Structure 1
Amino acid sequence: MADKILFSGTTHVKGGPDGYARSTTDILDLALPQSHPAAENLFAAAWSACFISALELVAGQRKVKLPTSPEADTTIDVVSRDGGFVLRARLDISVPGIERDVARELVDAAHKVCPYSKAVEGNIDIELNLA
């Protein structure tokens, strides 16, 4: 069976002191006077948004009513290791109004569903916390 593209995002990025990132859909239009830490912040924002969507999807599939929207604080670190650079991530997820054990199950399930989580699993150190 052929892949079915559900969404595609294209962003043009220019480096340098007058750098920017602009999506073709105009959802994103940011000045990027530095490539770092902008790259880490953009990755954290994208992963967080995807993770929250995955969490809401999983909650719906399990018939769990979320009384309020989940939130994520995601930190992406660039780490010097073995003469090179690697990423490390910490996601602090808040699922207000849900029992802690249910929230933990939702967060763990969302991590298995989220395409960003899947893309980096086994490639970077990930700390997944329930806030």
Structure 2
Amino acid sequence: MASLEKVLYTAHAHTTGGRDGASRTDDGRLDVNLSSPGTSGQGTNPEQLFAAGYSACFIGAMKAVAGKQKLALPDGLSIDAEVDLGPIPNAYGIAARLTVNLPGMDKAVAEKLVHDADQVCPYSNATRGNIDKTLTVVV
């Protein structure tokens, strides 16, 4: 396990009621109702939040890598993230699929960028070897 060399930011959230509750950050920027996947509840669920967080973080990693490699990212850069929830032996687990859209970019350059971003993205590093993950590049 790699330890942080320096803490750059700490997120604080207060959650009540679990999957059928609510969660709010200490700064009030996030204030959401939660509901279990597949129910008629009006809130989001942890898997949706993970998909949004992972895809946003991965774009940030791509921007950092592109800057170091002096690459221009296309205006239409986006990620479609899917997070699955299901049983594993004696517990539950998740799997993730990120479809990275880099319209107009050379395929080989785009694939290298995504591979390099996967090496620096905090979500990728936190989940590497722990969940099934698929990265697909679309140009």
**Length-normalised TM-score, structure 1:** 0.88
Partner of 2:98: helix, strand, or coil?
Answer: strand
Partner of 1:22: helix, strand, or coil?
Answer: strand
Residue 73 (str. 1) matches residue 75 (str. 2): no
Task: Identify which of 63, 87, 92 aligns with 1:85.
Answer: 92
Partner of 2:56: helix, strand, or coil?
Answer: helix
Count of aligned positions: 129
**1:10 equivalent in structure 2:** 12
In structure 2, the CA distance between the partners of 1:55 and 1:17, relative to structure 1 (3 Å rule), is: closer
* Mapping for residues 1-131 of structure 1, pairs under 5 Å: 3-15=5-17, 19-32=21-34, 34-36=35-37, 38-68=45-75, 70-131=77-138
Shift of 1:19: 2.1
> Take 2:94 and 2:83, find their aligned partners in 1: how far apart are those partners?
7
> Take 2:76 and 2:68, find their aligned partners in 1: how far apart are those partners?
16
CA contact (8 A) 1:71 1:95 kept: yes
Where structure 1 has 5 or more consecutive residues not aligned to the other structure, the ranges are none
**Length-normalised TM-score, structure 2:** 0.83
Shift of 1:84: 2.5
CA contact (8 A) 2:19 2:45 kept: no
Provide runs of 4+ in structure 1 moved above 3 Å. none
CA contact (8 A) 1:20 1:30 kept: yes
Partner of 1:30: helix, strand, or coil?
Answer: strand
CA contact (8 A) 1:13 1:22 kept: yes
